[in-house]
Amino acid sequence: MTLAKLKRIDQARIEISPDYKEGMRVKGIIYVDELLEKELEPQAIDQVANVATLPGIVGASMAMPDIHTGYGFAIGGVAAFDLKEGIVSPGGVGYDINCGVRLLRSNLTRQEVLPKLENLVNLLYSEIPAGVGSKGKIRLSPEDQKRILVRGARWAVEQGFGDAEDLQKIESGGCMEGADPSLISNKAYERGRAQQGTLGSGNHFLEIQYVDEIFDERAANILGLFKDHITLMIHTGSRGFGHQVCTDFLQVMERAAQKYRIPLYDKELACAPYDSPDARDYLAAMKAAANYAWANRQCIMHWAREVFMKQFGLPPGKLGMNLIYDVAHNIAKIEEHEINGIRRKLIVHRKGATRAFPPGHPELPDVYKPLGQPVLIPGDMGRSSFVLLGTQKAMEETFGSTCHGAGRLMSRHQAIRRAKGRSIRREMEDKGIIVRSAGRDTLAEEMSDAYKDISNVVEVVHRAGISTKVVRLKPLGVIKG
């Protein structure tokens, strides 16, 4: 493919012309500035173009500035499909269904935490299971498993893991209606049985942070974020359960694409028409995995709160560890959007992209309706994370979507090779960041060099107006799998 068919629209966007590849039904749009454009992978550009060939796609095939090559869809990809002509594709959600981010604020200051930081990190590491195949404290009966898949974070609250008010600050209230446990394979149940309440491995983490810089004082005050105050960020998803659901339904969708004679420019884009039994079954199973993930983050949050209470000897009211928001970034949802002046229901796929709804949106909790949706963007473990707000411009341009993180520059194997002879743990400690990890190679895989600079990524979406900066968060202690 010729790069001559890539055209810069403005300082934040480039366009992939519909004649870039045969079969494209719409253009592609990638949100990158000139700096990040240099880091674009040709394969990821091709994936954005491939998505533009799918039936019923509306508007444009899009990718955020953290774009990198994924399975089928590029990670950072956003695509919306008509409910009559369009499709559903597991590749547009990803293997880690409802991988997402949860952020808590606290009344603690950085100065209060630093003397106890190492003990705090060690205690969190001992109390919250992490690593490949990690097993949690919760042992689920078959009926418990089914209840989690239907109830999501509500199940966790009903078991005493958190408070009912937490549910108000979780996307979809922590539960997508319409999950069907009968569609889940025995293998998925087996993989999920002992992993509820576990962090997992790879880029998943629990991070103690502090508010380093405030860009929007009014918004920060409403969110309860103040300079030098401590926050806690949790980044994980549906673990092996969601991975197996995706694996199972990719096989279903491969057969469906042949059955419905859908031309695929990449077999990883296996899909089925939205109104087909195959797509309905996948979405019902995906919702079950999404609910598993929300319950998972709810349990982890509850245990983390208990660790902070124990370490600082403070009751909940004085500790003030309240949930700011929880948002998914690997999910497909039915949403209403305006297309050519007409409100339409669409199935929006976000894979490595975060919902960014504007002030007044009916899906936001009342407390955030005047403000807009909190957007939580984690960076790599050695730099920063950000809180932003959703905007009306995002609704108009990106189906209410923005970036989800820093985006990888290196594969995990490349990162391990690049880190040979280095002590990433010591390098982190030299920066004042205490790290604990279960896997030997995890720190090498997750070193800062392996990622784009989150500040550059966030600056693109801020300048584009699809989400606006509120605060920057700096890491103090990190738990990795």
43 located within any domain: no
What tens digit of pLDDT does each residue of 111-133 get?
999 999 999 999 999 999 876 66
| Count of structural domains, the chain | 1
Domain presence at residue 29:
no
Beta bridge partners of 334: 347
pLDDT of residue 1: 43
Strands 13-16 and 57-68: unpaired
Is 404 an annotated catalytic residue?
yes
316 found inside a domain: yes
| CB-based burial, 68-78: b 16+ in 10 Å, e otherwise | bbbbbbbbbbb
Residue listed under structure tokens 């998914």: 328
Assess contact for 97 and 290: CB atoms under 8 A: yes
Task: Tell whether 470 is covered by a domain.
Answer: yes
Is residue 82 one of the residues assigned to a domain? no
Residue 104 maps to a domain? yes
- Cβ neighbours of 8 (radius 10 Å): 13
Q: CB 160: neighbour CB atoms within 10 A?
A: 8
Per-residue pLDDT, 3? 60
Q: Which domain CATH number covers 319?
A: 3.90.1860.10
Tell me if 149 sits within 8 A of 245, measured CB to CB.
no
Instruction: Retrieve residue 173's tokens.
Output: 């209230």
Burial class of 478 by CB neighbour count within 10 A (0 to 12, 13 to 18, 19+): buried
Sign of CA dihedral 346, 350, 356, 362: positive
**pTM of the complete model:** 0.96
Residue 159 lies in domain: 100-249+269-333+354-480
Q: How far apart are CA 21 and CA 417, in angstroms?
A: 35
Regions of the chain short of the pLDDT cut 70: 1-4, 131-134
Which among 136, 143, 262 is positioned nearest to 199, based on CA atoms? 136
Tokens of 344: 């339409």
Which residues are 390's β-sheet partners? 467
In-domain check, residue 124: yes
Our measurement of the distance from residue 20's CA atom to the centroid of its chain's CA atoms, rounded to an integer in Å, reads 29
How far apart CA 68 and CA 75 sit, in angstroms, is 5
Q: Does a structural domain hold residue 264?
A: no
Catalytic residue from among 204, 404, 413, 462: 404
Digit-coded pLDDT (tens) for 154-178:
999 999 999 999 999 999 999 999 9
